A and B are shown apart, each in its own frame.
Chain A
């Protein structure tokens, strides 16, 4: 199985300030088509997870442009340019390259 490792696991943030989460995979997620199969999800308190970013850097429909994803092969980053109160929750990366799909441990983002 591909192991996904996120850091930090807890991230206190100040509204209006930037935030960044790292995700590393134990194997390359680069597909032969040139895309890295890495997704980011946000689970807001009491809700089901929702898709933020797919294929490492493509925002899902309706996701604000303050969210961006980058990276390739084994190293990935999710950035929020200016955190808003509604961004609190747990962020997960997931490798979608092969089964079993595997998730990072999650990064809990909370407002300072």
Chain B
């Protein structure tokens, strides 16, 4: 059974850098798209970006200038970096596994990140 466990700082000040990591347990690490999705409080789902095991990434155009997704295949982990955060980045952040059909098959438990001065 595939499980995704994520962690990272939950409270940031404006202009700081958001950093989250997701560990993958069970299943192969290669052949999938390791994905970050966020959900502002009370709102819908926003796709942030994805990366494959070889490090090829795609990002949401609206976040591309501030976001980096990376992988550590030796640890079966992937990470999200979002720079220069503002209150608009306050959200529940999910890590997830996507397949080659684009479907998001498995989701992490979510990490609430609050940006406040």
Contacts and interface: CB of A to CB of B under 8 A. Distances in A.
> Which of under 10, 10 to 19, 20 to 34, or 35 or more describes the interface residues of B?
20 to 34
B103 A103 contact: no
A107 to B, nearest CB: 10
A101 B61 CA distance: 11
A94 B104 contact: yes
Nearest to A39: B103
A34 interface: no
Contact of A97 (B58, B59, B102, B107): B102
Interface in B42-57: 44-47, 49-50
Contact of B45 (A49, A55, A60, A96): A49
B109 interface: yes
A41 to B, nearest CB: 7
Given A100-B60, A101-B47, A105-B44, 15 more contacts: A35-B101, A39-B102, A48-B108, A48-B109, A49-B107, A51-B105, A54-B101, A94-B45, A96-B104, A99-B49, A99-B58, A101-B102, A101-B104, A103-B46, A106-B45
Q: Which 4 A-B pairs have the closest CB atoms?
A: A96-B102, A48-B107, A101-B47, A99-B58
